[in-house]
Amino acid sequence: MPVITSPLDFNEEKLYVDLLSIFGHSIFLKCEGFNFAGSIKLKAATEMVQAAERNAVLTPGAVLVESSSGNLGVALSMIAASKGYRFVCVTDSHCNLSTRRLMEALGSQVHIISEPDANGGFLGARIDYVRALCASDNRYVWLNQYANPNNWNAHYRSTAPAIARQFPQLDVLFVGAGTAGTLMGCARYFREWHRPVRIVAVDSVGSVAFGGAPGRRMIPGLGTSVCPPLLDESYVDEVLRVEEADTIRACHRLARNGFLFGGSTGTVVSGAMSWLAQRDARELTAVAIAPDLGERYLDTIYQSNWLRELYGEDVLDSDELTASSRSA
């Protein structure tokens, strides 16, 4: 049995869900939410903090500060608590209430940006606040997940090799695009692998990560209002954009079958199923990365009043959800 002394010491790497019985297409969903931070962001947070410590950027008495829509903030809150650092998370009004409370329970300070920047949206406004905070006091240390190479290096060293070990005949990998850390780490690893793997990035409609006009995005996690500095599109074979209503339907369909996942996972699954439905994929080995679980979305994605107010009465009246309910 595992016996640990630090919350950083546990992360389940080998758990996959076969979605064939739920969606009718065979794809293996790598579940990254089974650690004490509850998401894949623990890997990037750990790698960035350890690198900052090695380089003497992060020293006793320093105060960590980071912009986050939620999951990285929780991961850094957990690490800060376990290592004895103070941490300030700069988020915005789209961050789930349960996520904010969780960070505060871990001892972190949460600053909420309520007004978006005219050009950079909420992300731009968050980054401006972080920069101003660092300029005001040299104790603040910004890890900068958006440009920090240790963000993608965490997945180059852990996530991608773990997938390769389990699926040596992998054909296609679906990865959500947020800061592009997971995407770039996996894409760089498989570019060097012994056989070709198609890398499909899944983004939210309204995100500007791969170009296009910005639009309303209410579900935190994937997507961005500023082009990610880490992104190198030459490593990406294809980009899928998913409407938030389809994210919600995928989440509910999974939940009706007993799997409660978060919004980022719903987006990736929806995009992957759309891609597979347009092809004869019976002979393909496909994997999708599920960044998070669903408990932090109970007041949003899984709350009927929130859904109806933002997406209308019929957002869940889809054939897919009805079919799922009948088979449950």
* Per-residue pLDDT tens over the stretch 211-247: 878 888 878 778 777 788 999 999 999 999 999 999 9
pLDDT-based confidence at residue 321 (cuts at 50, 70, 90): very low
75 compared with 326, residue with greater pLDDT: 75
pLDDT reading at 149 higher than 60: yes
Range in 15-24, 63-72, 96-105, 115-124 with the lowest mean pLDDT: 115-124
Question: What pLDDT sits at residue 140?
Answer: 96
Coil, strand, or helix at residue 322?
helix
Mean pLDDT score, 285-308 = 93
pLDDT-based confidence at residue 327 (cuts at 50, 70, 90): very low
pLDDT in tens, 61-114: 999 999 998 899 999 999 999 999 999 999 988 888 889 999 999 999 999 998
Coil, strand, or helix at residue 63?
strand
pTM: 0.92
CA distance 5 to 13: 19
CA distance 219 to 260: 16
Question: What pLDDT sits at residue 320?
Answer: 44
Mean pLDDT score, 137-150 = 95
pLDDT reading at 119 higher than 90: no
Helices then strands, each counted (H, E), the chain? 12, 10
Contact present, 273 and 25 (Cβ < 8 Å):
yes
Cβ-Cβ contacts under 8 Å for 61 (sequence gap 6 or more): 139
CA distance 92 to 123: 8
Tally Cβ neighbours within 10 Å of residue 181: 32
Sign, CA dihedral 327-320-202-220, equals negative
pLDDT reading at 319 higher than 70: no
**Residue 238, φ and ψ in degrees, nearest 5:** -160, 150
Mean pLDDT score, 135-144 = 95
Q: Which residues pair with 173 in a beta bridge?
A: 199, 287
Contact present, 249 and 230 (Cβ < 8 Å):
no
Question: What pLDDT sits at residue 76?
Answer: 98
In the chain, where do the E strands start and end?
A: 16-18, 28-31, 63-67, 86-92, 109-113, 140-142, 172-176, 198-204, 238-242, 286-290
Question: What pLDDT sits at residue 2?
Answer: 81
Average model confidence (pLDDT) for the chain?
A: 91
Mean pLDDT score, 133-160 = 96
Burial of 310 (0-12, 13-18, 19+ CB in 10 A): middle
pLDDT reading at 276 higher than 50: yes
pLDDT reading at 150 higher than 60: yes
Domains, in order of start, for the chain: 7-31+152-321 (3.40.50.1100), 41-142 (3.40.50.1100)
Question: What pLDDT sits at residue 103?
Answer: 96
pLDDT-based confidence at residue 317 (cuts at 50, 70, 90): low
pLDDT in tens, 244-272: 999 999 999 999 999 999 999 999 999 99
Range in 172-176, 188-192, 291-295, 305-309 with the lowest mean pLDDT: 305-309
pLDDT in tens, 176-200: 998 999 999 999 999 999 899 999 9
The secondary structure of 210-258 as a DSSP string is TBS------SSSS--SS--TT--GGG-SEEEEE-HHHHHHHHHHHHTTT
Question: What pLDDT sits at residue 323?
Answer: 36
